[in-house]
Structure 1
Amino acid sequence: MPINVKVMNRPVEQVSYIRATLSGMANTFRHFVSGRRHEVTTQYPEEKEAISRRWRGTHRMLTTETGKAKCVACGLCPTVCPANCIKLVPGEDEDGNRYPLVFEIDEFRCIFCGYCQEVCPEEAIHVGRHYENAEYSREGFVYDLERLTAQTHPVCEMWDPADPLGE
């Protein structure tokens, strides 16, 4: 497939930009005297704007009624993760039930795609709607199983093809 190149010729005669400048100044003056004042600044800590139900923020591990993580250490989430940010070491108890010995998510590496939530057969891992995550060290952004199960923020509602507008 050949590449088409469009050659643009610059004007060779003297060009005056005064007309464009005056047009822009007139537009600015029109907005200045229109009388409409648009409040665009949100006073952040006191006021928070609503975010979408489909916002993908920090992760959360759901638990059973007994307080244990729902994860069965199947290994699908680290396999499907494009950023390779999930570390999973599976274990097995005396009854033959699988559980994660180590489950860590590096939030710095994560691209918040939501694949881990989509692929989980037990619906254990969810991408939450929490976005205020400040830490003083890089190690603070590695969420282990204990920290993931302690999260209480609401979870993301992924896009439903039957409802394209998200209503």
Structure 2
Amino acid sequence: MAINVKVMERPVGEVSYVRATLSGLGLTLKHLVNPHKVTVQYPDERWDISPRWRGTHRMLTTEDGKAKCVACGLCPTVCPANCIKLVPGEDEAGNRYPLVFEIDEFRCIFCGYCQEVCPEEAIHMGRHYENAEYSRDKFVYDLERLTAQTHPVSELWDPADPRGE
């Protein structure tokens, strides 16, 4: 398949750009008198985000308040950004649990693979998007901070319902 390229000839003589300037000014004036509001006054007004928005992480807990994570090691294995640090431990009954579970939110690309691969559905991407801190080390979320998150979790995309309804 051939690509058609249209070559435009540049004007050779003297050219007046008054028409293009007036056209641009007319477009500017049209936007000045347009009552359509495009600015959202952020702290007071908020916009609705999609239920599939993938924001900061959240670790779900069991009824007794412990993390549902069984330290299987799938989430750090599948993470393309290598932002999850997991050190597994085991109690005397043989139950596995994470001794150290940290997610570096600066390295994370919010792909959602950790949520998809988790067999216990312990880690979830939340719908929280206000991530302002005063120091870089506050963006490393440890297990205590992950379990303390209370924002709603994101919904994964269902291929059977491509429009997400």
When normalised by structure 1's length, the TM-score is 0.88
Residue number among 115, 128, 131 corresponding to 1:130 in the alignment: 128
- What is the match of residue 98 of structure 1? 96
Give the secondary structure class of the aligned counterpart of 2:26: helix
- What is the match of residue 39 of structure 1? 37
Instruction: Provide the rounded CA distance (Å) in 1 between the counterparts of 2:145 and 2:29.
Output: 54
Give the secondary structure class of the aligned counterpart of 2:22: helix
**1:13 pairs with 2:12:** yes
Question: Residues 17-166 of structure 1 correspond to what in structure 2 (within 5 A)?
Answer: 17-33=17-33, 36-166=34-164
Instruction: Provide the rounded CA distance (Å) in 1 between the counterparts of 2:11 and 2:39.
Output: 45
CA RMSD of aligned residues (A): 2.0
- CA 1:38/1:140 → structure 2, altered by over 3 Å: closer, same or farther? same
Q: CA deviation at 1:105?
A: 0.2
When normalised by structure 2's length, the TM-score is 0.89
Q: CA deviation at 1:28?
A: 3.1
Q: Percent identity?
A: 79
- CA 1:31/1:89 → structure 2, altered by over 3 Å: closer, same or farther? closer
Mean alpha-carbon deviation: is it higher for 123-132 or for 37-46?
Answer: 37-46
Q: CA deviation at 1:146?
A: 0.6
Amino acid at match of 1:84: N
Q: CA deviation at 1:17?
A: 2.3
State how many pairs are aligned: 162
Give the secondary structure class of the aligned counterpart of 1:89: strand
Q: What residue ranges of structure 1 are gaps of 5+ in the alignment?
A: none
